[in-house]
Structure 1
Amino acid sequence: MSWSRWRAWLLPALEDGTEAELLADLRGGRAQLWAGERAAMVTQVADETAGRALHVWLAGGDLSDILALKPGVEAWGRAQGCDYVTINGRRGWARILRSDGFTRIGDELRKRL
Structure 2
Amino acid sequence: MKQELQFHWERCKPFIQEALDHAGNLCELEEVWTLVRLGEAQFWPGHECAVVTEIKEYPLKRVLNVWLGGGKLEEIKGMEPHIREFAENAGCSLILIQGRPGWKKIFGMKQLGVILSSEV
TM-score (norm 1): 0.85
Distance 1:93-1:50 versus aligned 2 partners, 3 A rule:
farther
Q: Which has the higher strand share?
A: 1
* Unpaired segments ≥5 residues, structure 2: 1-6, 116-120
| CA-atom RMSD in angstroms | 1.4
* Unpaired segments ≥5 residues, structure 1: 109-113
**What one-letter code is carried by the residue in structure 2 that aligns with 1:79?**
N
SS of 1:26's equivalent? helix
Give the counterpart of 2:93 among 73, 83, 86: 83
Q: How many residues align?
A: 105
* CA apart distance, 1:5: 1.5
% same residue: 31
* CA apart distance, 1:50: 3.9
TM-score (norm 2): 0.80
Tell me which structure has the larger Cα radius of gyration. Answer: 2
Give the counterpart of 1:12 among 15, 18, 21: 18
**What one-letter code is carried by the residue in structure 1 that aligns with 2:14?**
A
Runs of at least 4 residues of structure 1 off by over 6 A?
A: none
